């Protein structure tokens, strides 16, 4: 009696959206956004592109999902701070560090306004804004200011790092040369820039970020003291 051929098992049944997202994050971390292709993802997961499309609509959907999984983990790791001010600082620094380690994350978030990864950050900040005593009429503007600062500065720092890395620029030498250029500017037209030129080579991006975040928090506390 002839043996009935076995029906191939659909690879999509052995996959999950979570597995695909995890593999995507690994590719993004190692190769950057340009390295995240459905072909590369298929090879990493040992499956066909069709099985991936069963769970993921397109590359934009994949980037949003990878960003959201990353942001969820970052926020969970920074949730232990006690006061609302400390929680905002912890969230801000954790996000700054995450975007610094993963430059793809900053650009992905910038292209996902209003989507879940950004909403997740906004919700976390907004809850602390309420705890800080900000009245309802000012909560949106206050939360948006914090959100824009954190993502804007974090994203710019990551872009600077990526720029330097791709061009093999030595940070110390580059900043030293820039400081020399600033110091040579016209004293009447650029008094401030000349005055800070000597600070440029030794400035710390993370410390500058925290200083800016503290200024925002101080402004919130001054306007609505608890």
d(CA 199, CA 222): 29
Q: Which residues contact 218 (CB under 8 A, 6 or more apart)?
A: none
Instruction: Over range 165-180, report the average pLDDT.
Output: 88
| In-domain check, residue 202 | yes
List, for residues 99-136, the tens digit of each pLDDT value. Answer: 999 989 998 999 888 999 999 999 999 999 999 999 99
Output the pLDDT for position 78: 85
Output the pLDDT for position 12: 43
Instruction: Over range 7-35, report the average pLDDT.
Output: 80
Distance between start and end Cα atoms, the chain: 84
* CB 157, CB 169: distance < 8 Å: no
Output the pLDDT for position 124: 96
Q: Residue 1 — pLDDT band, cuts 50, 70, 90?
A: very low
| In-domain check, residue 180 | yes
Q: Residue 211 — pLDDT band, cuts 50, 70, 90?
A: very high
Instruction: Over range 24-28, report the average pLDDT.
Output: 96
d(CA 210, CA 161): 18
Q: Which residue shows structure tokens 């710019």? A: 156
The pTM assigned to this predicted structure is 0.86
Q: Which two tokens stand for residue 111?
A: 């292209």
| In-domain check, residue 14 | no
Output the pLDDT for position 6: 41
- CATH code of the domain covering residue 93: 1.10.357.10
pLDDT of 10 higher than 60: no
Domain that holds residue 98: 82-223
The count of domains in the chain is 1
């Amino acid at each position: 009696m002839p043996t009935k051929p076995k029906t191939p098992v659909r690879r999509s049944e052995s996959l999950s959206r979570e597995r695909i997202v995890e593999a995507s994050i690994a590719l993004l971390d190692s190769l950057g956004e340009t390295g995240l292709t459905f072909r590369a993802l298929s090879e990493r997961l040992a499956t066909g592109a069709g099985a991936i499309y069963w769970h993921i609509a397109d590359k934009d959907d994949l980037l949003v999902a990878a960003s959201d999984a990353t942001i969820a983990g970052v926020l969970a790791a920074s949730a232990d701070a006690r006061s609302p001010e400390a929680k905002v600082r912890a969230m801000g620094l954790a996000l700054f560090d995450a975007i610094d380690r993963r430059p793809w994350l900053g650009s992905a978030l910038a292209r996902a306004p209003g989507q879940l990864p950004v909403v997740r950050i906004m919700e976390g900040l907004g809850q602390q804004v309420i705890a800080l005593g900000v009245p309802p009429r000012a909560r949106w503007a206050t939360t948006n200011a914090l959100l824009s600062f954190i993502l804007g500065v974090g994203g710019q720092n990551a872009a600077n790092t990526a720029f330097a890395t791709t061009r093999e620029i030595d940070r110390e030498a580059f900043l030293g040369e820039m400081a020399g250029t600033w110091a040579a500017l016209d004293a009447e037209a650029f008094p401030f820039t000349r005055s800070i030129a000597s600070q440029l080579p030794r400035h710390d991006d993370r410390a500058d970020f925290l200083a800016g975040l503290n200024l925002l928090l101080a402004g919130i506390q001054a306007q609505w003291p608890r």
